[in-house]
């Protein structure tokens, strides 16, 4: 019979990671291993306080489901055991990995997806003073795609300094709900002037009606407002794209469903991540053939990654080995 192992892990960040809501110095993750005979499937999740999730809550939810998991559930059974988001994500990905190892076939093939290829990921610049972010941009100006964490006073100056110091890099912005309806148009105009291609979640989720019908020269992407398929109706008319993160959808199974549903509504797809190791990036990478933007740089922001790890050559991200996942 299957055996479940739940592990808490802490991975130091290289420096400090700051967004409009605050800062942190480590990635606190939960990993799940489901062992069945000689085969082991692995999954990783990041409980996120923004969605009222903590590591103890996620561990407790998985422990509560232990008897069912060790009784031999399938991925189709997971929604009846766990609410969407982190705990479901880790278990769903672990069962995908286990299924692949038993079948001797990669997950992308089992899921009916295109084989992932090497892809350029965004590289994130943490929110800081305009001068500090300008200096950081100069240091990484060789990277082809930069993601700028904004959402505080002085964002227009940050944009000017970053564009000046990284003139050849493509830019995307994540305001993390940090702007307001009264400065929205001005900030989107500043982004367009700086050549920004996409802005994530400029307004707070639940207070984003000002986006509806707003003329803009830059793509606006839902992040905190976008979770599973059930949230798509709320996004129509306000957003041009959605950021799909497995910790929000509750795993790869739901993420695939969401990606196809978004495509049917002509929404662009961004594949994103929480701050985590290569084990969390690996299943998300299966969605990259469907994505216009890829932001899977979590391991690049850590002091060290797990082993085996995804190979990053600069910002070029290679598909994971079967030894890692899938």
Active site residues: 149, 245
Q: Are strands 241-244 and 22-36 parallel, antiparallel or unpaired?
A: unpaired
Q: Which residues contact 280 (CB under 8 A, 6 or more apart)?
A: 29, 44, 45, 46, 246, 247, 273, 274, 298
Task: Please state, in angstroms and rounded to a whole number, the distance separating the CA atoms of residues 26 and 128.
Answer: 18
- Computed on alpha carbons and rounded to an integer, the radius of gyration of the chain in Å comes to 19
The total number of residues shown for the chain amounts to: 326
Distant-in-sequence, close-in-space partners of 246: CB < 8 Å, separation ≥ 6: 45, 89, 92, 93, 252, 255, 273, 280, 283, 284
Of residues 157, 155, 96, the one with CA closest to residue 324: 96
- Which residue do the tokens 């060290």 mark? 304
Render 137-204 in DSSP notation, one character per residue. Answer: HHHTTTSSEEEEE--STTHHHHHHHHHHH-TTSEEEEE-TT---HHHHHHHHHHHHHTTEEEEE--S-
**151 token code pair:** 């959402």
- Consecutive H or E run containing 93: helix 86-103
Q: What order of strands is seen across the sheet that includes strand 268-271? A: 123-125, 145-149, 170-174, 196-200, 219-222, 241-244, 268-271, 293-294
Two tokens, residue 211:
């986006």
């Amino acid at each position: 019979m299957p055996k479940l192992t739940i592990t808490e892990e802490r991975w130091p960040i290289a420096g400090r990671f700051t967004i409009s809501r605050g800062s942190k110095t480590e990635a606190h993750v939960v990993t799940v291993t489901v062992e069945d005979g000689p085969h082991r499937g692995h999954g990783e999740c990041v409980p996120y306080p923004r969605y009222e999730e903590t590591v103890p809550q996620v561990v407790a939810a998985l422990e509560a489901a232990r008897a069912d998991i060790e009784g031999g559930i399938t991925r189709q059974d997971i929604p009846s055991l766990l609410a969407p988001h982190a705990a479901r994500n880790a278990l769903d990905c672990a069962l995908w990995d286990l299924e692949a190892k038993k079948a001797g076939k990669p997950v992308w093939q089992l899921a009916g997806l295109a084989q992932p290829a090497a892809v350029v990921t965004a590289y994130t610049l943490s929110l800081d003073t305009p001068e500090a972010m300008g200096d950081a941009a100069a240091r990484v100006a060789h990277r082809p795609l930069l993601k700028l964490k904004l959402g505080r006073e002085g964002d227009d100056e940050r944009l000017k300094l970053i564009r000046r110091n990284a003139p050849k890099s493509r830019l995307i912005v994540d305001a993390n709900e940090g702007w307001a309806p009264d400065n929205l148009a001005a900030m989107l105009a500043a982004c367009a002037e700086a050549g920004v291609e996409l802005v994530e979640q400029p307004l707070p989720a639940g207070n984003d009606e000002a986006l509806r019908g707003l003329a803009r020269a830059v793509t606006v992407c839902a992040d905190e407002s976008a979770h599973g398929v059930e949230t798509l109706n709320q996004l129509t008319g306000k957003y041009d794209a959605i950021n799909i993160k497995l910790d929000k959808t509750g795993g790869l199974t739901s993420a695939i469903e969401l990606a196809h549903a978004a495509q049917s509504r002509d929404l662009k797809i961004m594949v994103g991540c929480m701050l985590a190791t290569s084990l969390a990036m690996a299943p998300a990478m299966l969605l990259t053939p469907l994505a216009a933007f890829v932001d899977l740089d979590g391991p690049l922001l850590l002091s060290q990654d797990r082993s085996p790890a995804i190979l990053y050559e600069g910002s070029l991200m290679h598909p994971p080995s079967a030894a890692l996942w899938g």
